[in-house]
């Protein structure tokens, strides 16, 4: 016997509502959603957590994921422990540079892909290692020790560039790569151990300038505003890079010490100390590519930029607001 349409729909409604089937259905949905949210964090959630950052406590993150939140609120890495197969303490012992450059980059590339952002890799002249080519052109592949004390940084940045290019080629993420050479300027960390900040702070505090090794190794020092201008042009332009962003003015560490003496204290003493392992002998960027494609080149020489940094360091070290070089 054929049922009328009305009778059919009323019997379906009766079936669904009968014997508390609807309540059971709701309970089932709630249980499934809760279970999935605990064990199955989607990649989108991982990346969001990676950037929503500073105040994320490890207790708010499921245990299968290890997050390392470091000073300045950077998220070094978020990764599936099970997938990588390392223990918490092993993870802690991996160098911070490596975590930031490799895992941090991977996280952020994933995020950039999902939100369609343009992605900047602030790479470094370290990718050239102890260069056998001078000055360094972007096409030079470098001379890097893969297992030395600096390798976590050098190889970490090289991997970061590789990952960026993979995402660019394979997943159409818009990336830009800058290879930044030694940069200095106001607001630099006073005691971070870099040569310019060390010499300036030492001269101001009437301490000897610590020159490592024989002081004949060279670096090219770039003033921070030049770097910022270069990065902005890179991000606003159409070229992926990599681009060297640095000042081609090259100085030995002894020459730098002399400029610091002239700027701060002609009587500042020099003290030689043993150099660190694998310290690159020479560094000087070839910036032809940036000049041609970004229309960029540095405008602030070391002798112009250093006094600006000295004013800022003087204020921060001595709390003296009256001094100003007028630059
Ligand atoms: N250096 C030095 N005295 C210091 C700190 C660094 O002579 O107090 C040397 C260091 O050995 C290296 C150069 O300065 O040859 C640049 O060091 P920095 O850490 O500023 O930069 P990077 O080596 O990363 O270019």
When mean pLDDT is compared across 27-41, 64-78, 292-306, the lowest value belongs to 64-78
Q: What is the pLDDT of residues 54-76, one digit of tens each?
A: 333 333 333 333 333 323 333 33
CA 310, CA 316: separation in Å to the nearest integer? 10
- Per the confidence metrics, is the pTM higher than 0.85? no
What's the helix, strand, coil split of the chain in %, to 5? 50, 15, 35
Half-sphere exposure of residue 269: CA atoms within 13 angstroms, side-chain side: 7
223 noted as active-site residue: no
Packing angle, helices 195-204 and 253-263, rounded to 10: 40
Q: Is 3.40.50.720 the CATH number for 64-180?
A: yes
Instruction: Please state, for a pLDDT cut of 90, what percent of the chain lies above it.
Output: 64
If you average pLDDT over residues 169-196, what whole number do you get?
96
Shortest-distance Cα residue to atom 25 of ligand 1 = 182
Identify the residue with better confidence: 89 or 120: 120
**Domain parsing of the chain, residue ranges:** 64-180
Say which range, 7-16, 211-220, 280-289, has the weakest mean pLDDT: 7-16
* Integer angstrom CA distances of residue 35 from 11, 63, 169: 33, 14, 37
The Å distance, Cα 194 to ligand 1 centre, comes to: 6
Which residues lie with the beta carbon below 6 Å from any ligand 1 atom?
182, 194-195, 198, 210-212, 217, 219, 253, 275-276, 279
Question: How many angstroms separate the CA atoms of 141 and 165, rounded?
Answer: 15
Q: Residue 226: CB partners within 8 Å, gap ≥ 6?
A: 245, 247, 298, 299, 300
Terminal Cα-to-Cα distance of the chain (whole angstroms): 98
Mean pLDDT, the chain, rounded, equals 83
- Statement: residue 43 has pLDDT above 80: no
């Amino acid at each position: 016997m054929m049922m009328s349409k009305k009778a059919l729909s009323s019997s379906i409604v009766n079936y669904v509502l009968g014997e508390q089937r609807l309540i059971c259905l709701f309970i089932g949905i709630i249980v499934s959603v809760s279970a999935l949210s605990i064990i199955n964090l989607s990649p989108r959630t991982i990346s969001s957590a990676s950037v929503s950052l500073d105040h994320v406590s490890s207790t708010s993150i499921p245990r299968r994921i290890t997050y390392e939140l470091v000073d300045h609120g950077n998220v070094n890495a978020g990764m599936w422990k099970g997938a990588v197969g390392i223990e918490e303490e092993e993870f802690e012992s991996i160098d911070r540079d490596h975590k930031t450059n490799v895992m941090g980059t991977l996280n952020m590339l994933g995020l950039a892909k999902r939100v369609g952002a343009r992605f900047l890799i602030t790479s470094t002249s370290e990718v050239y290692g102890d260069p056998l080519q001078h000055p360094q052109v972007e096409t030079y592949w470098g001379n890097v020790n893969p297992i030395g004390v600096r390798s976590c940084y050098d190889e970490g940045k090289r991997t970061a560039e590789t990952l960026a290019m993979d995402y660019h080629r394979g997943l159409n993420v818009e990336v830009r790569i800058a290879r930044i050479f030694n940069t200095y300027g106001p607001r630099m960390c006073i005691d971070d151990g870099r040569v310019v900040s060390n010499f300036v702070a030492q001269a101001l505090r009437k301490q000897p300038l610590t020159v490592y090794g024989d002081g004949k190794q060279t670096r090219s020092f770039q003033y921070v505003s030049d770097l910022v201008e270069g990065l902005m042009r890179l991000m606003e332009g159409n070229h992926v890079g990599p681009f060297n962003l640095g000042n081609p003015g090259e100085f030995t560490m002894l020459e730098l010490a002399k400029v610091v003496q002239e700027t701060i204290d002609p009587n500042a003493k020099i003290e030689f100390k043993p150099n660190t392992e694998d310290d690159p002998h020479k560094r000087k960027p070839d910036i032809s590519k940036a000049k041609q494609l970004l229309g960029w080149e540095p405008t602030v020489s070391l002798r112009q930029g250093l006094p600006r940094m000295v004013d800022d360091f003087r204020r921060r070290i001595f709390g003296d607001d009256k001094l100003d070089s007028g630059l």
